[in-house]
Amino acid sequence: MSDAVIAAPAIAQIAIAPADLPNAVAALLRDGGRMQMAYARHAAPGAIELRYLASRGPNDFLMWRAVPQGPMPSVAAISPLVGWYEREIADLFGVEFTGHPEPRRLVLHDGARPALPPLDPDYPTDAAMPFEPVESPLPAIAGDDVQRLPWGPVRADVVESAEFLFVYAGEHIIHYQPQLFFKHRGMEKRFEGRSPPHGAMLAERVSGVGSFAHALAFCQAVEAAAGCAVPRRARLLRTLLAELERLYNHLHYLGHLADTTTLKVGNAEGKLLEERVKQLNGRLSGSRFLRSLLIPGGLRRDLDPAPWLGAELDRLKAPIATYTAMLETTNSHLDRLVTTGVLAPEVAFDQGATGPIQRACGFERDLRRDHPYAAYDEVPPAVPVRTSGDAHARAQVRIAEIDASLDVMRRLLPLLADGPVCAACTAPAGSEGVGWAESPRGSLFYAVHIGAGGVLARVKIKSPSFSNWRVFPFTVHGSNMMDYAINEASFGLTIAGCDR
C-alpha cells in the first residue's frame, strides 16, 4: 500500500440565489438526498454568506452558497432538520428567515439583549450581555388535572445544565420543552485567529467524551483545505483510536442505561468495562480520553499498539459478551426498554436523527462506510440496524457496534507497518475544507475557512447531539414521567456537544 492518502472526493460548491434554495432542497430530497447542516460566515466585512451542506449518496456531498439580499427564505418546512440551524444563524448572525415554522430563539435565551449578533466581528467581547428574565411561550394547555414542572437547570447528580419543562396530567406527558444553551461556551468563536494545530486542541475540548472524534473531523477539514497527504500509518492509527473511543463510550452508555432501569450491578459492570478500555487508552497514548494526539497532517507522535493491544482486546471480548448477554436476558431491564421512547422512521429522517438513533429506526447509514475517511476504506465496519425505534433498539445497535468495533481493530492491527505518522500540512489563506467522522453518537462535521496568515477565520461544528436533541422531544410527547429518564439515557445525549 502507498503511504499517500486516498484522495477524498471533492465537495461540489454551487452558488445559488436565495429564492432558488427551497426548490433546490425539495429536489434534493425527492432524489434521495439529505441535508446535513447550515451555517453562516462573514465572507468580507459587512458581507454574510450562508452555506448549506447536503449529501446525495455515498462519497457525494454538495455545498450551496447563498448571499442574503435581505430576509432569507426558510427551508425548515421542507427539510425540518435545517430549522435549528436557521434559528442558530438568526441568533448568532442576525439573519432573518421568512416562513420559519418555529420562529423562536434557540441559542440566545428569551430575555437576552445583545448589542450586536454575538458572532459579528464588532461584538464587544469584554462586555456582559444584557439580560432581562422573561417567561418562555408555551402552547395553551388547560385543565384541572394539568400540572407544570420546570426541572433544572441545576439537576441531581453530576450532570450538565439544562432546563426541561414538563406539562403533564397524572403520569402522562402532554408537552415537553427542553431549554439548552445555559453554558454556551462560544467554542466556534474561540477558533478564530488560532493556528490549525491550536485548533486541534480546542476541538478536543468541545465535548469531552468525543475528544478524538472532534479533533479528527477538524484535522481532516484542515487537511482538505491544505490538500495534504496523511501517511498510511497515521490513518490506520487514527482509525484504531477512533474505535477505542467508540468502545468506551458504548460501554458507559450501557452502564448508564442499566442504572436508569435500577439495574445497579449492570451499571457497575458497564462502568468497570469502560474503565478497562480507558486504561488501555492511557497505556497506549498517555491519555484516557485520547487527547493531544492529533494534528493536521497526522499524529503528534507515533504509538506502539502491537502486539500487546490485540491480546488485551481479546481478553476484553469474553467479559463484554457475557455482560451484554446478561443485559439482553434480564426481564426487569428489557421490560423498561421495549416500546419506550419510540421514534418513527419518518420523524428520524425529517428531524435529522443520526448515529445509533437513526440506525435503530431502520436507516443503514454510517460515515465510516458511506464516506470513508482515515483507513476505513481498508477496514470497513459492519453497520448494525434495528427497526423498532425504541429504547431497546437503540441499546441493541450499540451492543452490535461494540462487536463491530472489536472486529475492526483486530483486522486493523496486522496492517500496521513502520512509516511516518505526520506530513507537512499548511492550508493557504482563502482555502476551506470540510471534515467528518462517525462519532459514537453519530455524524460529526467540521467546516473550516482559513484567513490571512494561515490562521482560522471560521470554524463550524455540526455535532451529533445537536441533531439528536432536536429529535428527542418527539419521543417524549405522549409518554409518561416514569419512563423519561430511561428514554433520555437511551439517546446517549450530551449537552456540551449541543451547546458548544
Write phi, then psi, for 198 (nearest 5 degrees): -65, -40
What value does the mean pLDDT take over residues 78-105? 96
The identity of residue 69, as a single letter, is: Q
Write phi, then psi, for 107 (nearest 5 degrees): -80, -45
Q: Which residues of 208-222 are buried (b: 16+ CB within 10 A; e: fewer)?
A: ebbbbbbbbbbbbbb
The identity of residue 184, as a single letter, is: H
In a 10 Å sphere around its CB, with 0-12 CB exposed, 13-18 middle and 19+ buried, how is residue 413 labelled?
middle
Average predicted confidence (pLDDT) for the chain: 93
131: its cell numbers: 439580560
**Look-up: residue for cell 409518554?**
479
Can you give the pLDDT at residue 5?
45
d(CA 9, CA 22): 26
* Least confidently predicted of 86-90, 120-124, 258-262, 457-461: 120-124
Can you give the pLDDT at residue 156?
67
Write phi, then psi, for 206 (nearest 5 degrees): -65, -45
In a 10 Å sphere around its CB, with 0-12 CB exposed, 13-18 middle and 19+ buried, how is residue 106 labelled?
buried
Give the pairing type, strands 97-98 and 146-151.
unpaired
d(CA 62, CA 66): 13
Can you give the pLDDT at residue 139?
75
Second CATH level (architecture) for the domain 1-125: 2-Layer Sandwich (3.30)
Q: Where in the chain is the domain with CATH 3.30.460.80?
A: 1-125
Fold for 187-464, please state it: Cytochrome-c3 Hydrogenase; chain B (1.10.645)
d(CA 215, CA 490): 25
- Tens digit of each residue's pLDDT (9 = 90 or more) over 223-236: 999 999 999 999 99
pTM for the structure as a whole: 0.95
d(CA 255, CA 272): 9
Half-sphere exposure for 201 (CA within 13 Å, toward CB): 6
Cα distance between the two ends of the chain: 39
Write phi, then psi, for 449 (nearest 5 degrees): -125, 130
Give the pairing type, strands 12-15 and 60-66.
parallel
DSSP-derived letter for residue 463 is: -
Q: What is the CA radius of gyration of the chain?
A: 22
73: its cell numbers: 427564505
Can you give the pLDDT at residue 362?
97
Q: Where in the chain is the domain with CATH 1.10.645.10?
A: 187-464
| Residues whose CB is less than 8 angstroms from the CB of residue 69 and which lie 6 or more positions away in sequence, other chains included | 18
- Tens digit of each residue's pLDDT (9 = 90 or more) over 297-354: 999 999 999 899 999 999 999 999 999 999 999 999 999 999 999 999 999 999 999 9
Model confidence at 154: pLDDT above 90: no
**Look-up: residue for cell 512509516?**
419
What value does the mean pLDDT take over residues 34-44? 95
Provide, rounded to the nearest whole percent, the portion of the chain with pLDDT above 70: 98
Model confidence at 8: pLDDT above 90: no
Half-sphere exposure for 255 (CA within 13 Å, toward CB): 17
* Coil, strand or helix at 166: strand
Can you give the pLDDT at residue 150?
87
Model confidence at 39: pLDDT above 60: yes
374: its cell numbers: 482515515
The dihedral sign for the CA sequence 460, 5, 215, 202: negative
Can you give the pLDDT at residue 59?
86
* Coil, strand or helix at 301: coil
Can you give the pLDDT at residue 9?
53
Write phi, then psi, for 335 (nearest 5 degrees): -60, -30
